[in-house]
Amino acid sequence: MRKLALSAILAALTALTSLQAQASAETDAVGQKIREKTGMIPSSVKKMPISGLYEIVVRRQIFYTDAEGKYLIAGRIFDTAANTDITAARLEELNRIDWKMFRLEDAVKVVRGKGERKLAVFTDARCPYCSMLERNLQKLDNITVYNFIYPILNSGSISRNIFCSENPVAAFESHMLEGKDPAESPEGKCDFSALQRNLAVGRELGITGTPTIIFPDGSRVSGVLSPDQIEARLSAK
């Protein structure tokens, strides 16, 4: 009996491995056809639970295609039975950020209260919406905010002066909340290479606007959230 059971398990594993190999070959072929016909290089190809349809991901964007790569669809798929947006759920999954990507020492770290909860914010010194968000963040308690200065709005000099000031937190808050420009930082007196690293990480993550908020679970929101909205998302994680 034991030999029969073991044989059955081995047979099942062999069949599963064969199916996985077939599925991989199938999706690889679809990806190759997309590369040949469009020039796009998919980072992943997956068969959808819809006959003849495949999901392809290119630079964190989702497209759908047929097995021959003849048709390329840019749009959303809804499951009418479950009343869910399949594409939106998948996009959220794809855009989830691993906090290990961050060099936290490259951020202006603001701690309020015990600082047990955490947020990361990609922010720009010339962004009025970032100032609005900063005012809202001031109303939260027990939180640590890692402000990654992301100079994409011709704000390189102000960003450098904030980062290189004697008290970057005070300089950051004074500028964002009161509009006060930080004192000029002497040339060559400060290593502000963190700003370039922030730009590189932001580009890799596809962050094209500020503010962008990253929550502890890796989910992100672009734009201004109210204190209540931030609290709700923090409490839901």
What confidence score (pLDDT) does residue 65 get? 95
Average pLDDT rounded to a whole number, residues 15-42: 76
pLDDT digits (tens, 9 = 90+) for 182-226: 988 876 678 999 999 999 999 989 899 999 999 999 999 999 999
* For the chain, domain boundaries: 2-94, 99-236
Instruction: Judge: domain 99-236, CATH 3.30.70.1150.
Output: no
Calculate mean pLDDT across residues 59-70: 91
**pTM of the prediction?**
0.74
Stretch among 59-63, 108-112, 162-166 having the lowest mean pLDDT: 59-63
What pLDDT, on a 0 to 100 scale, did the predictor assign at position 217?
Answer: 92
The two structure tokens encoding residue 89: 């759920």
pLDDT category at 9 given cuts 50, 70, 90 is low
CATH number at 2-94? 3.10.450.70
